[in-house]
Amino acid sequence: MKELLDRIKKSFKIVNEEIKRENFLIIEVEQGDLKQILVHLKYNENFKHLALLSCVDWIEDKKFQLTYILWNYKTKENLIVKTYINREKSDHFTVMDIFPQAEIYEREVREMYGVNFEGNSTQHLDFALEDWDDIPPMRRDFDTLKYSLENYGEREEYDRTNIRDIISEFTDEWRKK
Amino acid sequence: MADNKHFLNDKPEKLTYARVWEKFDNWARANSLWVVAYGTGCGSIEIPPMVTSRFDAERFGVNMVGTPRQADVLIISGYLAVKTLKRVIRVYEQMQSPKYVVALGACPINGGMYFDSYNTINLLDKYLPVDVWLTGCMPRPEAILSAFADLMKRIKEGRADGWKKYIDNLGEYRKNQEKIIKNWKMPNYNW
Amino acid sequence: MFTISDSESDKVFEIKGSTLPSLVNTIVMFFISLIGGFFFFSKTGIYIPETMLILFAGSILIFVLGFSRILQWLVSLGLTGYAFYIYMGNSMSLSQFFLMMILAGGILFLFASYPVSKKYSSMFYPLFLLTIFSMVGISLSKDWIMLFIFWELMSWFSYMIINSSDNAKRASWIYLIMSAIGGYAMLTGIKLLSPSVNLIPQFSAKALSLPILASILIFTAFLVKMATAPLHIWARDAYGDSPDAFTPALSGILSKMGVFGGILTVLYLIPQIKSSSVILYGLGWLGAITALFMTLFAVFQEDAKRVLAYSSVGQVGYILIGIALSTSLGYSAALYHTVNHLIFKGLLFVAIAGVIYRAGTSSLPALGGLIRKMPFTFFAFLLGIIALAGIPPLSGFAGKWLLYTALIEKGWIFILLVAMMASTIAFLYCFKLLHAIFLGQPKDKFKDVKKAPITINIVQLLLAILTMAIGAKPGLLLDFTEKVIKITLGFATPGYTYASTYKIVSSIGYWNAWFMMIFVGGAFVIILALFAINNPKIRKVGQLDIGYSGEVPDSPESVHFGYDMYAHFRRVVWFMIKPVAEGIYKGIYSTINAGVDFLRRFYTGDINTYAIWVIVSLITILYLLNKGVF
Amino acid sequence: MFNKILFALIAAIVALAYGLFLGGLSRKIMARLHGRKGPTVFQNFIDVWKLFRKRTAISHGVMFYLAPTFRFLGGVGTFLLVPIVFDSPYLSNFSFGGDLIVLIYFMVFGCLGMALGASESGHPHSAIAVTRGLSQMAGYELPFLIAVIGIAFANHTITFQGIIQAQQGGILHWNLFQYPFLSIAALISMLGMYMSYPFAVVMAPQEIAVGPPTEFSSEFLSFMFSGRSIFAVAKYLVFMNLLLGGATNLLEAFIKTFILFLWPLFITGVFPRFRLEQSVRFFWTYPVLIGLIDFIGIFITRS
């Protein structure tokens, strides 16, 4: 793992890195370097398999973290490439030309977070939701409770506006025990 | 000839022999309930054991059929995503009256543990008439059998009339359904 | 057997463009017909000429009338009708039977052909009429030479009709080659019958030499027209690509000329052979094998006309079994099935012509759901299919019943087994036709399909009424066949008896057609009435409103099951539907090619070589003359 | 004549009840084989009545509307063509209407009608199931035809009366013992005819929900159900007359049909399912080879 990291460091600028296990490396790169480093990893280090593309919403510092999980069949190594993109305009590029299976992942991220992947023609199609017309539901500024109460309603005898506090009280008492 | 009258729900007590017929029919309906095998949520895994040798729902005349056209009972097994709700409504409208809905678990009643989910409905009876609620998360096959026993009792007493309610308040139900299912494109309702 | 793709066979039988330009066609046709007509008048008896003249002159007339199609249509109809009127009264001999069948069928199919014939050349009606003319000549001829001449005329005219449709060049070429093979075989056989040239061999003439070879050779020609097992390769494409207006005649009448000749052969020639029973048994097996294999091929066709083509060939196989039985009951079955096959197969082919005329295609996967658009065509087609499948109470069943009874009486139970098995497998393509054309999901591109043209509907109506009437009272048809059997074939009884007016009794079974019809019809009406009274409020739901696990299908194509419907059955019978005969013919073809290539070496394009050949041959001839060889 | 019609109607109604009862009984027996309690033996009556009284509001077209009529008529007609009791004036139904060949071809009537209705419903599963059913019919018809033709040729008659007449006088005159190999072939083809379990791919509940009647709702289905019940009884009667020497009184008929009813049932209980080509291959090999033993023997001796 170490020498792999060194080899990558020789040619690319790594913002920070972390060796979780002896076959599990996490590196963070700039958004601009992402494509080159993915190409390098696929064709020179043969990390042929894009296992997952996921997204994290850092609403406090106004960033989306895009996480590409790669897998090397030869050496049985995991490699996570992280990059941060701007949350407001949330513009990113597709990696379909490197990993074609990224198409579906990007469609999902687009639907759930509203990240725009330049060059992915099918990202506007529905992935899990059917004709969703609100802000993307996985953004943390989207209030699911409010949405649920507005759209799906509740029984008259209930009042669920502060149900989250009640639940947290219960859980605190339970933790104390 | 007589049967279409009280299907249309216009005061069957006008003709008395029809009431006798209806009692007999209700007995027959109660004793041969055909369930459309359509698992909607996590509870659908509880239904197959119901017809196995251990629980043997067939001894009550409960059968699994593969098509909504021939079914009497629709089991809502657990939480309903909006996508699933669309299909469920479709299936329910393809079933022929009289038809009954059994809702399993807490989720159809009030959303259950998905009460604040952005794509899971909370109140099933806003969209479909429910004849028997069954609480628990998830109810075991014994509980489902007890629900069927309850449903049979209600049918024999003639109180399981959700389908009549659906026919009468179709507009209201449709309003609720179209509120959450955008661009509604489905064939018309056939009883 | 072109069951798999025709790519290689295309190469094999490839010909560039049309064989003859239509003008040359015309001229050649007129010369041949003139020769045939005059030869006929010089040879034959009294009451023939007027029809001959009528039909022949009529063909010239409507060729002259080429500018207006409707005049051609009316004139040809009138002429055929007049010929039919002339021959109605006469006594019911064998030729009379076939004559009436030809002319009646000709009238019906000519009548139906008007709207369809729009896209054909002005030669269509003259050729159609001349085909009928030559078939009339066949059934009127008194000796083998007449038969041969009109046989060749029929092959030639029908070839030119088939050739007149655009995509049928290759098909008509194969048809012509096979007909030529048959014709030459027939001529050789006739020559074997009468060694001296000026003696015209009558039908009942004692064969002077080699009766077995003669009869086999003559029978070959008829087997080619019947398209029995090894000689069937022309049938599929010739039926499938021929003009839609002519296909009913091709299946209903023209293939029956083979039946006519077959009856003549079995009646007059085969008995002169010592071991005739063996020959007949072989013919029976030939018919059974044809019925079985053609039915199997029909199941796996994807084009309506090709399915019906193989189906007709298989049905003619049943007729061949009936002939080969050569008992009175067998002849009854054969003759009955001949007419009956004309009725229901004509009905089916005419209906298909209407479908093609409206929907523009006859490929089964492309069609579907046409019952909503052309309901009348559907119900006529349904009756035709029920008759074809031989389900009582329609007319198709009587033929099967007679045939099977005759087979049991004769004791050919293995042939009976094969034949009944074939008719069971026939249900497969019967359902396939009905489902893929008329039922299932209607495609969007057929939204504006209109009803079939009126003439086609009229013909369908007539034929449907005929199937139902004959099904209810087979006597309508069996009286004719009985007369034929008593007059020409010389049997005392037809092999069955009428117990009551409608109950037919053979020596081993009985069958009450009228009762079946009344019982089925009555019970059907009663049950339907009960059902309808009990459910007054049934509404018709939308086309795509099916239990599709909660989904609404996005397109009819996605839920229409129309292509390769019997893939599972193919996995069982794959070894029976291999194109064996095609391979054989290809082998012959390539052998001939090789031989011709060898000959080509002597014919170098060089003039000197030819000069040398000429000189050498002259010297040889002179030498032989000196020796006094000649 | 009127009496004959009256008796035939009564016989048809009795046959309907008997068929429904046998269906319920088979469900009960299957439940016992599974170690379940199972429904009551009258469950099928309840089902048919419920379906009959359900609301019937939808149709997919004319053939769809006619299909249950076809099916019911196919069942009743087949039943009425078979004599129940040998040369009894009334209980031999309308068997004067036709002989074995008429019957064999009339058996297809109901199936054809139902097939057309099912395929007009436009549901792909229906058409798939129909093609499977037809292919399977092509499979099991061969041994059945061997048996029928063999018996008919041996007795030189294709009338039921003649065949039953030939089997009178002692149990050993039954074709079951006269021609044991033909009988084995016929009994194996009977399994396919009843779609009992190794050959149940037509209705395959796992792949194509309920086979042809996928789209048929309440009263359509009840008519088809009744038609199938009568059809089943009719086929039991056919096999009884062919193999078990007919019946001389009603009780005998009931007993023999009941015995015939048990045979496919117990096969059903213990077998998995064949694919279609497997079942057709099976029908075209083993029962045919077995049947041909007697067939050839008859062919040699009788001709």
Domain chopping of chain C, boundaries: 275-539+546-589
What does residue A17 show for φ and ψ, rounded to 5 degrees?
-140, 165
Confidence band for C18, pLDDT divided at 50, 70 and 90? very low
Residue D39 has its nearest CB partner, among B7, B25, B59, at B59
Q: Which tokens sit at C199?
A: 């003696």
Would the CB atoms of D58 and C416 count as touching at under 8 Å?
A: no
Average pLDDT over chain B reads 85
Contact C411, D303 (CB under 8 A): yes
Residue C594 CA: distances (Å) to CA of C398, C587, C597, D145, D219: 51, 11, 5, 49, 70
**pLDDT reading at C11 higher than 50:** no
Contact C483, C496 (CB under 8 A): no
Contact D230, D222 (CB under 8 A): no
Q: What is the pLDDT of residue C12?
A: 38
Confidence band for C283, pLDDT divided at 50, 70 and 90? very high
Q: Which tokens sit at B112?
A: 């259950």
Is position B188 within any domain?
A: no
CB contacts under 8 A, D 139-178 vs C, are 139, 141-142, 145-146, 149-150, 152-153, 156-159, 162
Q: Report the alpha-carbon distance of residue D152 to residue C469 in Å, rounded.
A: 30
The 10s digit of each residue's pLDDT in D56-94 is: 888 888 889 999 999 999 999 899 888 888 877 777 777
* D185 lies within 8 A of chain C by CB: no
Q: What is the pLDDT of residue C15?
A: 37
Q: How far is B110 from chain C (nearest CA, A)?
A: 24
Residue B180 has its nearest CB partner, among A145, A152, A160, at A152
Q: Which chains touch A (3 or more CB pairs under 8 A)?
A: B
Surface-to-core class of residue B157, CB atoms within 10 Å of its CB (0-12 exposed, 13-18 middle, 19+ buried): exposed
Q: What is the pLDDT of residue C215?
A: 86
Q: What is the pLDDT of residue C41?
A: 56
User: Is it the case that chain A and chain D have 3 or more CB pairs lying under 8 Å apart?
Assistant: no
Choose from C386, C417, C437 for mutation: most chain D CBs within 10 A: C417
Domain extents in chain A? 2-142
The 10s digit of each residue's pLDDT in C311-327 is: 999 999 999 999 999 89
Query: Which residues of B are less than 8 Å from C534 in CB distance?
Result: 1
ipTM of the predicted assembly exceeds 0.90? no
User: Is it the case that chain C and chain D have 3 or more CB pairs lying under 8 Å apart?
Assistant: yes
Give residue D57's domain range.
Answer: 2-302
Q: What is the pLDDT of residue C14?
A: 38
Would the CB atoms of C552 and B38 count as touching at under 8 Å?
A: no
**pLDDT reading at A160 higher than 50:** yes
Q: How far is B54 from chain C (nearest CA, A)?
A: 28
Spell out which chain B residues touch chain C, with contact meaning CB-CB distance below 8 angstroms: 1, 4, 38, 67-69, 86-88, 90-91, 94, 185-188, 190
CB contacts under 8 A, C 488-517 vs D, are 503, 508-512, 515-516
Confidence band for B7, pLDDT divided at 50, 70 and 90? very low
Would the CB atoms of C417 and D149 count as touching at under 8 Å?
A: yes
Q: Which residue has the tokens 């030639």?
A: C156
- What's the maximum distance between 2 C-alpha atoms anywhere in chain B? 51
Please report the DSSP string for A1-50 in residue order: -HHHHHHHHHHS-EEEEEEEETTEEEEEE-TTTHHHHHHHHHHTS---EE
Beta strands B100-104 and B73-77, pairing class: parallel
Is position B186 within any domain?
A: no
Sign of the dihedral defined by the CA atoms of residues C342, C348, C350, C356, in that order: negative
* CA C375 distance to own-chain centroid: 27
Residue D216 has its nearest CB partner, among B69, B97, B191, at B69
Q: How far is B75 from chain A (nearest CA, A)?
A: 20
The 10s digit of each residue's pLDDT in C177-208 is: 999 999 999 988 888 876 655 556 677 666 66
Would the CB atoms of D57 and B190 count as touching at under 8 Å?
A: yes
Would the CB atoms of D135 and C568 count as touching at under 8 Å?
A: yes
Q: Which residue in B110, B86, B107 sits closest to B38, CA to CA?
A: B86
Residue D142 has its nearest CB partner, among C414, C421, C548, at C421
Q: Which tokens sit at C352?
A: 């298909």
Q: Which residue in C381, C363, C440 sits closest to D131, CA to CA?
A: C440
Query: Which residues of A are less than 8 Å from B119 in CB distance?
Result: 128-129, 137
Would the CB atoms of B7 and D49 count as touching at under 8 Å?
A: no
Search chain B and give the residue with CA nearest A146. Answer: B116
Would the CB atoms of A152 and B86 count as touching at under 8 Å?
A: no
Confidence band for C23, pLDDT divided at 50, 70 and 90? low
C38 against B28, higher pLDDT: B28
Contact D139, D150 (CB under 8 A): no
Query: What is the rounded (10 degree) CA torsion for C353, C358, C363, C364?
Result: -100
- How many folded domains does chain B comprise? 1
Would the CB atoms of D152 and C508 count as touching at under 8 Å?
A: yes
Choose from D55, D121, D208 for mutation: most chain B CBs within 10 A: D55
The CB density around residue C627, as the number of other CB atoms within 10 Å, is 8
Give residue B15's domain range.
Answer: 8-180
**CATH match for A2-142 among 3.30.460.80, 1.20.1740.10, 3.90.1010.10, 3.40.190.10:** 3.30.460.80
Q: Report the alpha-carbon distance of residue A26 to residue A69 in Å, rounded.
A: 9
Q: Which long-range contacts (CB under 8 A, 24 or more apart) does D86-92 make?
A: D86/D161, D86/D164, D86/D165, D86/D168, D86/D246, D86/D247, D86/D248, D87/D161, D89/D4, D90/D3, D90/D4, D90/D7, D91/D7, D91/D11, D91/D250, D92/D161
Please report the DSSP string for C370-388 in residue order: GGGT-HHHHHHHHHHHHHH
Would the CB atoms of D53 and B191 count as touching at under 8 Å?
A: no
Which region among A106-110, C207-211, C273-277, D18-22 has the lowest average model confidence (pLDDT)?
Answer: C207-211
Cis peptide before B138 (omega within 30 of 0): yes
Q: Which tokens sit at A130?
A: 């059917």
- How many folded domains does chain D comprise? 1
Q: Which stretches of chain D drop beneath a pLDDT of 50?
A: none
**pLDDT reading at B49 higher than 50:** yes
Is position B3 within any domain?
A: no
**pLDDT reading at C155 higher than 60:** yes
The CB density around residue C159, as the number of other CB atoms within 10 Å, is 22
C588-606: average pLDDT: 86
Query: Which residues of C are less than 8 Å from D128 in CB distance?
Result: 561
What pTM did the predictor assign?
Answer: 0.87
Would the CB atoms of B123 and A154 count as touching at under 8 Å?
A: yes
Search chain B and give the residue with CA nearest D208. Answer: B66
Q: What is the pLDDT of residue A50?
A: 94
Contact C295, C316 (CB under 8 A): no
Q: Which residue in D61, D59, D54, D101 sits closest to D81, CA to CA?
A: D101
Cis peptide before C393 (omega within 30 of 0): yes
Q: Which residues are A68's β-sheet partners?
A: A53, A81
Q: What is the pLDDT of residue D202?
A: 82
Query: Which residues of B are less than 8 Å from D58 in CB distance?
Result: 69, 96, 190-191
User: Is it the case that chain B and chain A have 3 or more CB pairs lying under 8 Å apart?
Assistant: yes
